[in-house]
Amino acid sequence: MNQKSGKTTLYEEHKKLGAKMFSFAGWEMPLQYSSVKEEHLTVRNKAGLFDVSHMGQVFISGKDALDFLQNLVPRDLSGLREGKALYSLLVNDNGGIIDDLIIYRLPDSESCRKFLLIVNASRIEEDLNRLLLFKNNFEVNIDNKSDELSMIAVQGPSSAEVAEALGLNKDDQPARFSLKQTELNGYDILIARTGYTGEDGFEIIVKNEDAPGLWQEILNRGESLGIKPVGYAARDTLRLEASLPLYGQDLTEDTTPVEAALCWAVSKDKKENYSGKEIILNQMTTKKVDRKLIGFKMLDKSVPRHNYEIYVDNQTAGQVTSGGFSPCINTGIGLGYINTQKPFSEGTKIDIMIRGKLHPAEIIKKPFYSRK
């Protein structure tokens, strides 16, 4: 069995396509195949193909599956119907974010609920530790299938056409934030209408041994629709434009959902207890946090990057957690944490310290890009 470390099952495909490889969360992933800007715009205008096999897949089943998960995340999962999905956060006792994940409710089996958690590659271990810590009190099975499964994402406005070209009619395609178990070109797959680019698209989970075949099939059948493989450099600029946080940069165990501006992923009226609940709800009601995640754009041609300092009124006031150049807006953009001592809002002028010089920027509304 090909262990999930180092190389994904699609490694040889990336080499064949001439990808420049780099190390990401312990994995050798494609950085780019052609030009970052071109790959970025391919996803915005047509469709891009991503290898996201490094991500973790953890299945939760058993009589207490729902109650178990309800203890771990601030979002109420009781209304999550079969085949639907929710973005959620795994939080620690202080309300700090252990991981951000998507929870899919699979079709029930033998009258018990079954869930699939798609988690960040860099956090699989911490996630499992957290799940195991809470397991005792529940009748639940935790099945980490990350080593056996690969994941391929098709993202972009033409994604539905690409899926159709592979034999999945539009009527049979899952709706947004939904998941289906089906067959695609003879491969057994789980297909979800989710992604990390701000575009319409699918994430397809497939057995490791089927991944190269499915990858090739998607590229062949999608060719006339303009599909192209897209690397991680463009994945980063795409998710940044869509203001989707990256764990390890924008989210850490020291940030709460309120600080991270992820209150929408917290159900305020959730009855069940979960770890960190008191702290999170207190922050939500009092609106008192020491720092808050903001989005900003540069007012000159410079480019903000991870770890640069944010200044307000010539005083250091925070840090850029994600930054880069936006190919769609043609400007440097970034996400960062700013301390809340001074009032700020959209339109507030700030500065970013870049190589010893302050460069003007402005807090703006997130996301930087929304699809039409």
Partner 1 sequence: MTVNMSGVLCTKSHEYAIQAGDVLKVGITDFAIEQLGDIVFVELPEVGTTFKKGEVFGTIESVKAASEVYLPVSGKIVEINEKVQNEPEIINEDCFGEGWLVKVADYDKADLEGTMYYDEYKHYLEQEEEEIV
Contacts with partner 1, 253-292, as mask; x by CB under 8 A? ----------------------------------------
Nearer to partner 1, 24 or 177 (CB): 24
Least distance (Å) from partner 1 to the CB of residue 83? 37
Among 237, 255, 256, 267, binds partner 1 (CB under 8 A): 237
Nearer to partner 1, 192 or 233 (CB): 233
Do residues 48 and 229 lie in contact, with contact meaning Cβ atoms separated by under 8 Å? Answer: yes
Among 151, 233, 310, 350, binds partner 1 (CB under 8 A): 233
Contacts with partner 1, 208-227, as mask; x by CB under 8 A? --------------------
Least distance (Å) from partner 1 to the CB of residue 285? 41
Helices (H), 64-210: 65-70, 124-135, 159-165
Using rule CB under 8 A, residue 16 touches partner 1: no
From 79-87, 189-197, 276-284, 324-332, give the range in contact with partner 1 by CB under 8 A.
324-332
Which of positions 294-323 make contact with partner 1 (CB under 8 A)? 301-303, 305
Nearer to partner 1, 288 or 301 (CB): 301
Decide: helix, strand or coil at residue 238: helix
Using rule CB under 8 A, residue 40 touches partner 1: yes
Nearer to partner 1, 170 or 355 (CB): 355
Q: Distance between CA atoms of 372 and 370, rounded to whole angstroms?
A: 6
Structure tokens at 61: 């089943």
Among 36, 149, 350, 352, binds partner 1 (CB under 8 A): 36
Nearer to partner 1, 295 or 324 (CB): 324
Do residues 290 and 258 lie in contact, with contact meaning Cβ atoms separated by under 8 Å? Answer: no
Count of residues touching partner 1 (by CB under 8 A): 17
- Give me the DSSP letters along 16-51: HTTPEEEEETTEEEEEESS-HHHHHHHHHHS-EEEE
Do residues 69 and 116 lie in contact, with contact meaning Cβ atoms separated by under 8 Å? Answer: no
Which of positions 341-370 make contact with partner 1 (CB under 8 A)? 355
Which H helix or E strand runs over 235? helix 232-241
Least distance (Å) from partner 1 to the CB of residue 233? 5
Using rule CB under 8 A, residue 32 touches partner 1: yes
Nearer to partner 1, 140 or 303 (CB): 303
Task: Lay out the sheet containing 141-144: strands in order across.
Answer: 85-91, 97-109, 112-119, 56-61, 141-144
CA distances from 219 to 23, 150, 191, 303, 344 (A): 24, 16, 17, 33, 46
Do residues 55 and 247 lie in contact, with contact meaning Cβ atoms separated by under 8 Å? Answer: no
Q: String of b and e for 237-274 (b: at least 16 CB within 10 Å)?
A: bbbbbbbbbbbebbbeeebbbbbbbbbebbbeebebeb
| Binding residues for partner 1 (CB under 8 A) | 31-32, 35-37, 40, 233, 237, 301-303, 305, 324-325, 327, 332, 355
